[in-house]
Amino acid sequence: MELNQYWVLASVAALLIGMSKGGLPLVGMMSVPVLSLVMSPVKAAVLLLPLFVISDAVGVWLYRKQYSLVNLKILVPAGVAGVMLGWLTAALISEHTIKFLIGLVGVSFCLQTWFKRGQAEKPVAASVPKGVFWGGVAGFTSFIAHAGGPPFQVFVLPQKLVKAEFAGTATILFAIINLAKVGPYQNLSPYGEAEFWQIAVLVPYALLGTFLGAYLTRRIADAWFFKCVQVGLFLLSLKLIWDAVHI
């Protein structure tokens, strides 16, 4: 029964990863919590990374012409630097502390956005200092817990990008960040033959999720898309805070 439960949850996690690469960026954050129901969060994060990388390739192909180059120029170097910082401090930083801080940032951003809803706000330009900071935080938190979505959202959502451009920027950024995590993850927790077989079985679910995510992204109206993103950010941020305080 326990083995069957593992495969069901692992398949759901793989599907969520694929959907996040298809254009629903926050959905992937649920993959580690889902698989953590049957294993430690750290083991779940390590096991799922190859699925992120494989589905990244499909996501990048789907959004190869739809992304914000100015944002990627700022966020990619900062994100990779954040991954390296996460690697160097992996033994020093509590996973629960990181989850709490990420959740706090996400909740604060959503509440600020919703309370300002009655005011007409113009799109803001991509700021290099802010982008370097939030990109670094995204890379760091992605390394610790595959939770780079909220910092990315905090920086990019105020720019009010076109839906496909927003999704494409997130997909390409985290594809590069995930590739940067492969070496450090292998160094901290080497993959064995059993892990590779588990990953191979889950690949079709991740690929299916990628195309499903892209389909849903195209079908959802822009206004509802960003409302869903904000609600998803808020709920996931609350989940991260809950996980952090209930050790």
Q: What is the pLDDT of residues 173-227, one digit of tens each?
A: 999 999 999 888 877 777 777 778 888 888 898 888 888 888 887 887 767 776 7
Q: Kindly report the pTM of this predicted structure.
A: 0.77
Segments in the chain below pLDDT 70: 1-3, 25-26, 36-37, 40-42, 95, 116-121, 222, 226, 247
What's residue 50's pLDDT? 86
Of the candidates 113, 115, 119, 118, the one whose C-alpha atom is nearest the C-alpha of residue 159 is 113
Quote the CA–CA distance of 46 and 86 in Å, as a whole number: 14
Where do the domains of the chain lie?
A: 2-245
Whether residue 38 contacts residue 9, with contact meaning beta carbons closer than 8 Å, is answered with yes
What's residue 26's pLDDT? 65
Task: Dump the DSSP string for 8-55.
Answer: HHHHHHHHHHHHHHTT-TTGGGGHHHHHTTTS-HHHHHHHHHHHHHHH
